[in-house]
Structure 1
Amino acid sequence: MTRLGVPHAKEQAEESEQRQLEIRAKFFDGLANPTRLRIVELLLHRGELNVSQLVEATGVSQGQVSNQLACLKWCGYVTSRSEGRYVYYRVTDPRIRTLVELARQIVADNAEHIRTCTNLGISADRRGR
């Protein structure tokens, strides 16, 4: 820090990188919820679906599906369009398909290690989110 309290360029770059790291971690948090991930997988597999179809496919309440869709939409994972009285959701970015498929492959190769990892076993709800 300079004498006037203004951070040096190096400190600013480090702070910027830390913010970007936090955003990337938050990106993965978006898919860390099993219901959100299931919704994304369903949309990737079946294309556009409305809330009623997602409720039926997931077995989760309409309120929960709507809340998870709002999160997914806010973060840019899904987009929606209205048709009559229905709102249809679809995956926004085709790279999400690649990401989910890579995750499936990595999990297949490391399932037992991931399953038994005690540091990853704390659900978002138990962390106070």
Structure 2
Amino acid sequence: MAAAALFRSLGDPSRLAILLRLAEGEARVVDLVAAVGLAQSTVSAHLACLRDCGLVDSRPEGRSSRYFLARAELLDLFKSAEGLLAATGEAVALCPTYGTAATDEDS
């Protein structure tokens, strides 16, 4: 199912952090590295994944590229997710299967 693949791509904390940073505006890889605190190679790999999924795109700028959200609908999705999280309180974070406690135990 395509929706499952979309949410799986958004479910990775690193990819989500990159997308949320790009929701603020275009960025170079070096900017994303600074924003999300990951190695350049890791950020580049996540960007390649997100580009393959059609969620980000880039344009050349000098010797580097500027990345941006390829779909404005992502902004609506993020806004809807914030509203849903606000409405559910801490229930999602406390979920025994998918919440932060479950994620912390998996680490």
TM-score range, shorter chain: 0.7 to 0.9
Q: 2:7 maps to what in 1?
A: 28
| 1:107 positional shift | 1.0
Task: Give runs of aligned pairs for residues 9-88 of structure 1, distance below 5 A.
Answer: 22-45=1-24, 47-88=25-66
Give the residue type in structure 2 aligned to 1:115: A
- Distance in 2 between the 1:88 and 1:36 partners? 16
Cα displacement (A) at 1:111: 3.6
Q: Give me the TM-score of the superposition, normalised by structure 1.
A: 0.73
* 1:25-66 per-position Cα deviation (integer Å, ceiling 9, x unaligned): 111111101111111111111x11010000011111111111
User: CA offset at residue 82 of structure 1?
Assistant: 1.0
Instruction: Supply the AA of the counterpart residue of 2:62.
Output: G
Distance 1:109 1:67 in 2: 34
- Residue type of the partner of 1:25? A
Gaps of 5+ in 2: none
1:104 matched residue in structure 2: 82
Residues in 2 aligned to 1:111 and 1:62: alpha-carbon distance in whole angstroms: 35
4+ residue segments displaced more than 2 Å:
none
Q: Give the Cα separation in 2 of the matches to 1:111 and 1:73.
A: 32
Percent identity at matched positions? 36
Gaps of 5+ in 1: 1-21
Return the alpha-carbon distance in structure 1 between the equivalents of residues 58 and 84 of structure 2.
30
Computing the radius of gyration over CA atoms, which structure comes out larger, 1 or 2? Answer: 1
Q: Does 2:91 correspond to 1:118?
A: no
TM-score w.r.t. the length of structure 2 is 0.87
Number of matched pairs: 102
What do you get for the CA RMSD once the two structures are aligned?
1.4
